[in-house]
C-alpha cells in the first residue's frame, strides 16, 4: 500500500479520477464499488458498475435488494491492489466508474423490466460495458434484452445452482426461475452457444443449452470446464451471469435459495480466471442477500466475482 497516499486519500467515490488503485482506509470514506468515482457522465468510460436493488421476483427468501450496498462495502478491501493472478491492473488500464443504482418505483413492479432495459441501454449506447450488482436473478433478463438489441442474440455463460429455465410462456410474469426460458424463447440468447455451470437442481428440459453441472466441475476440474466453455462460446460476444448460490452454502450462506454440493470459492476464482480471452461484453453478480449472513462472507464473494468480471472485460482491451 502507498502509505503517503493512504494519509491523504478520502472519499474517492466523489473525488477519484476513474483510474488507478485506491488507498484510502477500507473502514472510512464514502462507499462506492472499488472506490470508483460516482458519476452519471459516461463520456470516456470503459466500464460502468451499476446496482439494481430489486428482489420482488424471488421464490424463497428476499433480501437481495440490499445486495448492491453490501457488495460495495465489501469491495473496499480489494481497492488497494491489482487482482491476484491476472498479471495486470484493470483499474489502472480501464476507466471504471460507479454509475450508481437503478431508480424505479418499488410499487410498480410491472414497469420495472423496461426501466432496467433502458438503464442498461443508456450505458451501452455510450460505448461502455456494464457490470451489474444485484438484486435477484430476474434482473438478468431485462439486461440481456439491452445487450441483444445492440449485439444480436448473445451467448450466455451462466454460473448457478439452478438452470432458471422452467417453462413459463407468460412474458409478463416476473420470476427469477424462468427468465432464461424466456430469453431463449424470445431470441435474446443463443442456446447453441450458451452454457450453464454448477447446476445441481433437476430440470429435464435444457432448452438446448449445454450444462456442466457441479459434479462435472468437482470431478473434471475447473480447467476442463473453462476449456469447454471457450469451445462452446467461441469468439462470439458473450454475457456472464453469476448467481452467488453457485457457491456452496458453506462459502455463501447469504442467499435466498441455497443448495448443497456447490462450488468452492477457489473453484469459482480459478474458473473465472481461466475464461480469460472470451469476448465479454458485460456481466452481473446476483442473489447476494446480506440478512442471511452476519459474517459478510457472501458479499465478499460477490465483490470478488464482480472484480473478476472486470478483469475478464479488460483482458481483451488491455494495453498490448
CA angle at residue 22 from 18 to 23, to 5 degrees? 155
CATH number of the domain that 93 lies in?
3.40.800.10
| Closest among 209, 124, 139 to 176, alpha carbons compared | 139
pLDDT (0 to 100) of residue 17: 81
Q: Do 51 and 132 form a contact (C-beta atoms < 8 A)? A: yes
- The answer to whether position 72 is within a domain reads yes
Report the C-alpha gap between 6 and 8 in whole angstroms. 5
Lowest mean pLDDT among 7-11, 224-228, 291-295: 7-11
Residue 169 to residue 171: CA distance in whole angstroms: 6
For residue range 118-152, list pLDDT tens digits in order: 999 999 999 999 999 999 999 999 999 999 999 99
pLDDT at 3 over 60: no
Q: Which helix (H) or strand (E) holds 240?
A: strand 237-243
Whether residue 302 is contained in a domain is answered as yes
On whether residue 320 sits in a domain, the answer given is no
For residue 172, name the pLDDT band (cuts at 50, 70, 90): very high
Mean pLDDT on 33-39: 97
Host domain of residue 85: 3-315
pLDDT digits (tens, 9 = 90+) for 60-107: 999 999 999 999 999 999 999 999 999 999 999 999 999 999 999 999
φ, ψ of residue 303 in degrees (nearest 5)? -65, -40
What average pLDDT does the structure give for the chain? Answer: 96
The Cα 73–Cα 296 span in angstroms is 10
Quote the number of domains for the chain.
1
Q: Is residue 299 part of a domain?
A: yes
Amino acid at each position: 500500500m502507498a502509505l503517503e497516499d493512504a494519509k491523504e486519500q478520502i472519499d474517492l467515490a466523489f473525488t477519484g479520477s476513474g483510474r488507478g488503485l485506491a488507498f484510502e482506509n477500507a473502514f472510512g470514506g464514502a462507499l462506492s464499488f472499488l472506490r470508483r468515482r460516482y458519476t452519471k457522465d459516461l463520456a470516456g468510460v470503459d466500464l460502468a458498475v451499476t446496482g439494481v436493488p430489486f428482489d420482488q421476483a424471488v421464490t424463497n427468501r428476499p433480501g437481495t435488494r440490499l445486495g448492491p450496498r453490501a457488495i460495495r462495502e465489501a469491495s473496499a478491501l480489494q481497492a488497494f491492489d491489482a487482482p491476484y493472478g491476472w498479471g495486470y491492473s484493470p483499474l489502472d488500464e480501464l476507466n471504471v466508474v460507479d454509475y450508481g443504482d437503478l431508480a424505479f418505483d418499488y410499487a410498480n413492479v410491472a414497469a420495472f423490466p423496461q426501466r432496467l432495459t433502458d438503464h442498461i441501454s443508456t450505458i451501452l449506447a455510450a460505448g461502455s460495458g456494464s457490470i451489474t450488482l444485484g438484486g435477484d436473478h430476474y434482473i438478468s433478463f431485462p439486461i440481456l434484452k439491452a445487450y441483444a438489441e445492440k449485439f444480436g442474440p448473445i451467448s450466455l455463460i451462466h454460473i448457478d445452482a439452478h438452470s432458471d429455465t422452467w417453462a413459463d410462456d407468460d412474458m409478463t410474469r416476473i420470476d427469477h426461475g424462468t427468465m432464461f426460458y424466456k430469453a431463449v424463447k424470445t431470441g435474446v440468447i443463443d442456446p447453441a452457444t450458451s452454457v450453464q455451470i454448477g447446476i445441481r437442481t433437476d430440470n429435464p428440459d435444457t432448452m438446448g443449452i449445454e450444462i456442466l453441472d457441479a459434479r462435472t466441475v468437482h470431478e473434471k476440474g475447473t480447467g476442463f470446464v473453462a476449456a469447454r466453455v471457450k469451445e462452446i462460446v467461441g469468439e462470439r460476444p458473450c454475457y456472464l451471469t453469476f448467481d452467488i448460490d453457485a457457491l456452496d452454502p458453506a462459502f455463501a450462506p447469504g442467499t435466498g435459495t441455497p443448495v448443497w454440493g456447490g462450488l468452492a470459492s477457489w473453484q469459482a476464482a480459478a474458473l473465472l480466471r481461466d475464461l480469460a480471452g472470451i469476448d465479454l461484453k458485460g456481466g452481473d453478480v446476483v442473489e447476494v442477500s446480506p440478512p442471511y449472513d452476519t459474517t459478510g462472507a457472501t458479499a465478499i464473494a460477490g465483490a470478488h466475482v464482480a472484480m473478476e468480471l472486470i478483469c475478464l472485460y479488460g483482458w481483451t482491451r488491455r494495453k498490448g
